[in-house]
């Protein structure tokens, strides 16, 4: 649910954020979403090949960290950190870069979350996958509803989106310790199989 709210809820409002805060055209507000797809495709393909070696904890930790930090940076409408680094690009380019970074983080995160703990109950794969998708969708719906309330109660769209991005980014960061509560098994922690009392097909 946390991933659904913090990731899919945020992405649903990026076009509105681009048009209302950064004054981008409707066309550009859609175009800047393209880097997210490119980053997600490339990162998820690479992560899928390395998942057996890495296990699922490392990609989840790395992906959550990348997405949360990019979300927090997205909340600064003046891009102060980039200006301090001497990067003087316009909002379209900087938004595209941040959105692509979020897409890369998402591409690292999703393959691991889709496969985490499935090997613990190989005879319940369909049930686990269905429940996981349901909670992710519920999280997305709750995130969208919460963001709508924040924007409605905020005096300006700029303040509303700042509150949204910073709070959701911090929420994703604070959820990182939950990863260590996930049961270990199969390739869970270090990429090696562990004895679970369940026959794992080779």
Classify residue 12 by its DSSP letter: T
pLDDT tens track for 109-157? 888 877 776 766 777 777 777 777 787 788 888 888 899 999 999 999 9
Rounded Cα distance, 190 and 187, in Å? 6
The lowest-confidence range among 23-32, 40-49, 93-102, 176-185 is 176-185
Q: Please tell me the predicted confidence (pLDDT) of residue 75.
A: 86
**pLDDT at site 119:** 66
| pLDDT for residue 101 is more than 90 | yes
Give just the sign of the alpha carbon dihedral 164, 169, 172, 173.
negative
pTM of whole model > 0.95?
no
- Give the Cα separation of 72 and 11 in Å (integer): 13
In angstroms, the CA 142 to CA 165 distance is: 15
Domain architecture of the chain: domains with CATH: 2-177 (1.20.1250.20)
pLDDT at 189 over 50: no
Q: Contact, 1 vs 138, CB < 8 A?
A: yes
Return d(Cα 102, Cα 164) in angstroms, integer: 16
């Amino acid at each position: 649910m946390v991933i659904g709210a913090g990731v899919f809820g945020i992405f649903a409002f990026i076009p509105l954020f681009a048009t209302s805060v950064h004054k981008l055209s409707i066309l550009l507000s859609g175009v800047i979403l393209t880097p997210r797809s490119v980053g997600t495709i490339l990162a998820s393909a690479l992560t899928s090949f390395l998942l057996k070696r890495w296990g699922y904890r490392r990609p989840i930790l790395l992906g959550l960290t990348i997405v949360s930090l990019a979300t927090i940076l997205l909340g600064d409408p003046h891009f102060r950190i980039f200006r301090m680094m001497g990067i003087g690009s316009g909002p379209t380019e900087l938004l595209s870069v941040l959105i692509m970074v979020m897409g890369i983080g998402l591409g690292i995160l999703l393959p691991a979350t889709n496969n985490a703990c499935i090997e613990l109950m190989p005879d319940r794969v369909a049930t686990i996958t269905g429940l996981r998708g349901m909670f992710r969708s519920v999280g997305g719906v709750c995130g969208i509803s919460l963001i709508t309330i924040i924007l409605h109660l905020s005096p300006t769209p700029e303040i509303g989106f700042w509150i949204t991005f910073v709070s959701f980014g911090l929420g994703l960061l604070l959820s990182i310790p939950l990863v260590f509560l996930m049961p270990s098994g199969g390739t869970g922690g270090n990429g090696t199989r562990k004895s679970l009392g369940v026959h794992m097909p080779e």
